Each structure stands twice: as C-alpha cells, then as structure tokens.
Structure 1
C-alpha cells in the first residue's frame, strides 16, 4: 500500500450523504483522540456515530474531504454561521485540506463565522488565527459537555 497523496487537490470536498456518516464519524473520533488526548469525551464511539448519522449529516450543512482510493479523510459542519466541526484524519493533516475547508466555509457564509475550540488545542488556535479568526470569548467550560475551558473565535470579512 502506498501513502496518501501529497497534494490536497487529490481530495474532493463535497456535501456528505447518509452513506458517508460512519466514515465521517470515524474521522472525528481519530482526530479528536489525536488532537485532544487530555479532553474526556462525554459520549461513546457508538453514540458519536449515531449522532453524526442521525443529526449532523441530515440536519446540518455537512461536508467531507473524499480522497480517491482512500475514502473520507476530513469532515466540516456548518450550522448557520457557526463552523461547528472541522476534523481531519491525523495522517492527512498538513496537506492543505483544512485550508480548503475554511475557504469553503467563508464562501458559504460570507457574512462571518463563529466557532468554538478548546483552550488546550493550541494547534487549532494557530490554524484559525492564520485564517483571520480572532478570539472573542474565553469560558471556564461550564457550558460544554466536556466541562473543558474553551474559546469562541470569530471571523468577520
């Protein structure tokens, strides 16, 4: 088996359908585990898969990064003006896919975006700040399921 392509353009960004839910959930689970090992998830793997299948894909604007020959390697979810999820398979980070997802989000919601990320996720802070997002609010985590301090970012054109 060969490794993944080195160019993000070998990956198609497309709207997710029901058949993508399991693979998208698995990307979320792998990404979360790799990026946030100290954050306790309040839901089991099966509960996450059910939620993505039953709620996220049918009710939110859900996009996937589909790598030819590999399958789903990324997930982005827009909920109105909220960029509610952006996860990449850990092996596919650093290939420009996240950049493409953010550009797509800005194109889909040109009036501005908000998102939340955990305060411990310094790599996400650097990524979003590089894309013009600014920290707007810091919390103690009492309003999220994980009980983890977080930060709300905003992008305004």
Structure 2
C-alpha cells in the first residue's frame, strides 16, 4: 500500500512537498494506517492497484497506481466508500489537484471549505469536500 501511495502521490502531485520521507511513509502505513483504519485494496496482476482508507466518516486516502488512473478503478473504490459509509463522507484534497476535485465533484461531493494549508503537514492550500446521501 505504501509503495502505491508514494508512486501515486509523486505522479499526481509533483509540485507538493512530501512532509515525510519514503521510509517514514512506509512505517506510517505499517504502524498506523493498516492496524488502526479501515483499509481496502484493489489488486491486479498480483500488485496493489489502488487503496482506500476510511476513518469514521472520513475518507482518509484514495490513491491509485498511476497506470490504473482513468480505468474506472477510482469509481469502484469511491462506490465502496459510499457503501461503507451511507450516511456521508468527508475528505480533504489539495487545491492544486484539479483532477481529484473533478473526480470528487463528479461523484457528488461538494466543496465546503478552502484553507491556506497551514493546518496540513505539507502546508499546501486544500479543500474540504463532503458527500451526503440524498434523502
């Protein structure tokens, strides 16, 4: 999962400074993400093609192996997230990540807050999105 996350982050966000080194990211996945969060992976050809991490109603991580972008895998993972959290979801994405914004908006998420990035480790302006199931 960590390797997919690292490749995806670097490919999708080349201008965003990683707050932690690669080894720290690997340790974080092993010690925090996997044991303490609901984690889902999509496997293709024996490797992790995508990952979804949920923490309560928060969609913490949704990353795809770069070669799997645009093939519907993200759609399947977001559908899974909605199935697991039918009452709603929230997430943050960086303002420079226009493809992610289009993706989430296409899936019914609404931008509710924009920040200057001082509250995230990367110090990158971000956007808060929420999704609520229609009544």
Instruction: Tell me the TM-score normalized by structure 2.
Output: 0.97
Q: How far apart are the structure 2 equivalents of 1:51 and 1:132?
A: 30
User: Could you tell me which of 50, 53, 67 is aligned with 1:77?
Assistant: 53
Figure out how many residues of one structure are paired with residues of the other and give that number: 133
CA deviation map 1:88-126 (0-9, x unaligned): 000011111100000000000000000000000000000
Q: Which runs of 5+ in 1 are unaligned?
A: 1-23
Deviation of residue 71 (structure 1)?
1.2
> Aligned with 1:29: secondary structure?
helix
**1:112-127 correspondence runs (5 A):** 112-127=88-103
Deviation for aligned residue 1:42 = 1.1
Cα distance in 2 between the residues matched to 1:58 and 1:64: 14
5 Å-filtered alignment, 1:8-87, equals 24-67=1-44, 69-87=45-63
Q: Secondary structure at the match of 2:19?
A: coil
- Compute the TM-score of the two structures, normalised by the length of structure 1: 0.84
Determine if the alignment matches structure 1 residue 140 to structure 2 residue 116.
yes
Residue 151 (structure 1) aligned with residue 127 (structure 2): yes
- Taking only aligned residues, the RMSD between alpha carbons, in angstroms, comes to 0.6
Rg larger for: 1
1:42-68 Cα shifts (integer Å, max 9, x gaps): 10000000000110001000010111x
